[in-house]
C-alpha cells in the first residue's frame, strides 16, 4: 500500500525544510531566511504562484510563468516519488531531492537539512505582493511588453521613489509605466476604491479559503480512505483470528472428547480389573498348582512303572514256581491267565497314573488360557474397543465355564451356569 500525504509529512517534515532565495530586485518585504517551509507548504506556494502567472500569460515571453512552471513540474515529480514509495528512507529522499529539485543545501546538523530554491521572480509570500499584483494588472492593461523588466523597475522605484524621474523620461514601456504608476499613486489623494479593496483583500482571502477548503477536503478523503483501508485490514485480521479461534476450539473439543473417551476406557478397564482380578489370580494360582501336580505325578508315574515292572517280574517268577505243584490240584487256572491278569493290573495302574498326569497338564493349560483371555479382555477395554452385551456374554461364558478334568464324566448343568446367568443380568 502506498503512503498517504500525512504519512509522508510525518516522515520527512522533522528532517527536511525548504526556503526561497529570491533577489531583492523582485521582492518588497520578504525575509528569505525567516521564511522556512515544509514540503506541503512548498507545494501549495508553488501551485498558487504558478496558477497566478499562468492566468496572465502562458507565452514564453512571460518568464515568471516559465520559472514557476518548471518549479511546479519538479515539485509534482517529487510528490509522485513520495506517493508511490512503499517506504521512505531519509537518505534516499535527500538524494532524490538533491538530484531533482535543487542542489543548494544548508545542513543545520547531521540529520536536518534546508533546501534552498533560488528564483528570479516575485512570490506571493511577500507581504507587499498585493502591490506587485496591482501594478501587474495596470501594466497588462497598457501592454505586455517585457513584463519582467517592468516589475523589476516598479519594485526599484517603490523602494527608492526619487528614481521615478529618470524612468519617466525613458520612452520604453517597461520604464515609463512603472514610474507613471508610482507617481499616480504618490500624488493621488484618493484612497483605494472598492474594486482595489476587492482585488487586493477580498479575492486573495477568498482564494486562500478555497485553497484551504480544497486541501481540507483532500485530506478528509485521504484520511477516510486510510481509515477504511485500516478498518478492512483490522477486520481481515479479526476474521482470521476468529477462524483460528474456531479451529482451536474445535481442536480442543476433539482433544477433550478423546481424553474423555480415554478416561472412560480407563475407568472401564479399572472396573473390569476389579471384577476379574481375583478370578485371574485364582486361575494363575490354579495353573501353577496343576503344573506342579502334573510334574509330581509324572515322576510318580515313572517310579510306579519301574516298580510295577520289577514287582510284576518277581510276582510272575514266584507264582510260576508256586504253581508247578499246585496247578495240578486246580487245573482250571492256567499260567496264561495268571500272566494276563498281572499284566492287565499293571496296565490299569499305569493308565490311571497317565490320566492323572494328562488331567493336570490339561487343567494347567486351561487356567493359563483363562488368565490370558482375562488379560486380553482388559487390554481391549483399555484400547477403547467397543464390546457389546452379546460379545461380553460370550467372553464371560468362556471365562467362567466349568473346566473338564477328563477324569470324571459330568453333565452340562452345574453351579457355574447359575453364576453365569447371574453375571449376564448385570452386564450393561
DSSP assignment of 84-127, as one string?
Answer: H-SS--HHHHHHHHHHHT-S-EEESSSS-EEEEEEESS--TTST
Q: Express each pLDDT in 41-67 by its tens digit.
A: 899 999 999 999 998 888 877 889 999
Q: What is the DSSP code (8-state) at residue 428?
A: -
pLDDT at 16 over 70: yes
**119: helix, coil or strand?**
strand
Q: Which residue has the higher pLDDT, 127 or 208?
A: 127
Asked whether the predicted pLDDT for residue 396 surpasses 80, the reply is no
Q: CA dist 306 to 7, 313, 339, 346, Å?
A: 113, 11, 18, 11
Mean pLDDT in residue range 202-230: 70
pLDDT at 4 over 50: yes
More confident residue, 69 or 371: 69
* Per-residue model confidence (pLDDT) at position 415: 47
For residue 390, pLDDT over 80 is answered with no
pTM above 0.95, yes or no: no
pLDDT band at 115 (very low <50, low <70, confident <90, very high): very high
What's residue 111's pLDDT?
77
Residues 87 and 226: their CA atoms lie apart, in Å, by: 16
Phi and psi at 102, nearest 5°, equal -160, 150
DSSP-derived secondary structure for 260-319: HHHHHHHHHHHHHHHHHHHHHHHHHHHHHHHHHHHHHHHHHHHHHHHHHHHHHHHHHHHH
Q: To 10 degrees, what angle do helices 335-383 and 389-400 make?
A: 150
Q: What is the mean pLDDT of residues 357-379?
A: 76
The predicted structure's pLDDT at residue 255: 87
Is pLDDT above 50 for 68? yes
User: What are the cell numbers at 63?
Assistant: 518568464
pLDDT by residue (tens digit) across 218-252?
666 667 776 777 778 888 888 888 888 888 888 88
Contacts 24+ apart (CB under 8 A), 99-108: 100/74, 101/74, 101/75, 104/21
The residue to which cell 476450539 is assigned = 249
pLDDT value of residue 402: 65
Cell of 275: 471384577
> Is the pLDDT higher at 13 or at 281?
13
Query: What value does the mean pLDDT take over residues 395-399?
Result: 67
Say if residue 261 is exposed, middle or buried (CB neighbours under 10 Å; 0-12, 13-18, 19+).
Answer: exposed
Cell of 15: 528532517
Residue, of 102 and 199, whose pLDDT is higher: 102
Amino acid at each position: 500500500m502506498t503512503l498517504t500525504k500525512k504519512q509522508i509529512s510525518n516522515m520527512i517534515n522533522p528532517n527536511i525544510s525548504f526556503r526561497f532565495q529570491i533577489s531583492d530586485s523582485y521582492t518588497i518585504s520578504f525575509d528569505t531566511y525567516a521564511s522556512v517551509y515544509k514540503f506541503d507548504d512548498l507545494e501549495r506556494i508553488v501551485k498558487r504562484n504558478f496558477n497566478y502567472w499562468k492566468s496572465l500569460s502562458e507565452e514564453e515571453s512571460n518568464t515568471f510563468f516559465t520559472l514557476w512552471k518548471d518549479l511546479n513540474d519538479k515539485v509534482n515529480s517529487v510528490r509522485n516519488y513520495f506517493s508511490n514509495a512503499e517506504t521512505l528512507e531519509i537518505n534516499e529522499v535527500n538524494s532524490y531531492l538533491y538530484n531533482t529539485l535543487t542542489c543548494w543545501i544548508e545542513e543545520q546538523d547531521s540529520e536536518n537539512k534546508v533546501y534552498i530554491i533560488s528564483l528570479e521572480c516575485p512570490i506571493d509570500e511577500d507581504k507587499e505582493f498585493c502591490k506587485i499584483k496591482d501594478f501587474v494588472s495596470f501594466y497588462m492593461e497598457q501592454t505586455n511588453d517585457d513584463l519582467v523588466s517592468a516589475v523589476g523597475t516598479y519594485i526599484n522605484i517603490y523602494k527608492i521613489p526619487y528614481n521615478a524621474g529618470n524612468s519617466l523620461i525613458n520612452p520604453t514601456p517597461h520604464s515609463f509605466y512603472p514610474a507613471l504608476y508610482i507617481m499616480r499613486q504618490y500624488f493621488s489623494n484618493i484612497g483605494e476604491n472598492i474594486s482595489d479593496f476587492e482585488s487586493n483583500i477580498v479575492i486573495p482571502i477568498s482564494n486562500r479559503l478555497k485553497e484551504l477548503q480544497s486541501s481540507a477536503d483532500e485530506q478528509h478523503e485521504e484520511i477516510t480512505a486510510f481509515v477504511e483501508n485500516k478498518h478492512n485490514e483490522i477486520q481481515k485480521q479479526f476474521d482470521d483470528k476468529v477462524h483460528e479461534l474456531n479451529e482451536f476450539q474445535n481442536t480442543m473439543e476433539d482433544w477433550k472428547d478423546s481424553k474423555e473417551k480415554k478416561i472412560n476406557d480407563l475407568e472401564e478397564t479399572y472396573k473390569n480389573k476389579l471384577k476379574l482380578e481375583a478370578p485371574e489370580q485364582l486361575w494363575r494360582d490354579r495353573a501353577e498348582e496343576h503344573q506342579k501336580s502334573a510334574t509330581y505325578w509324572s515322576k510318580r508315574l515313572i517310579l510306579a512303572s519301574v516298580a510295577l515292572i520289577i514287582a510284576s517280574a518277581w510276582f510272575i517268577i514266584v507264582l510260576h514256581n508256586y504253581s508247578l505243584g499246585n496247578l495240578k490240584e486246580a487245573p482250571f487256572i492256567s499260567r496264561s491267565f495268571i500272566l494276563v491278569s498281572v499284566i492287565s493290573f499293571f496296565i490299569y495302574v499305569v493308565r490311571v497314573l497317565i490320566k492323572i498326569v494328562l488331567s493336570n497338564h490339561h487343567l494347567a493349560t486351561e487356567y493359563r488360557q483363562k488368565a490370558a483371555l482375562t488379560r486380553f479382555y482388559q487390554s481391549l477395554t483399555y484400547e477403547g474397543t467397543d464390546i457389546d452385551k452379546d460379545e461380553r456374554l460370550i467372553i464371560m461364558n468362556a471365562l467362567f465355564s466349568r473346566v473338564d478334568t477328563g477324569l470324571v464324566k459330568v453333565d452340562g448343568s452345574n453351579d457355574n451356569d447359575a453364576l453365569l446367568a447371574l453375571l449376564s443380568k448385570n452386564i450393561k
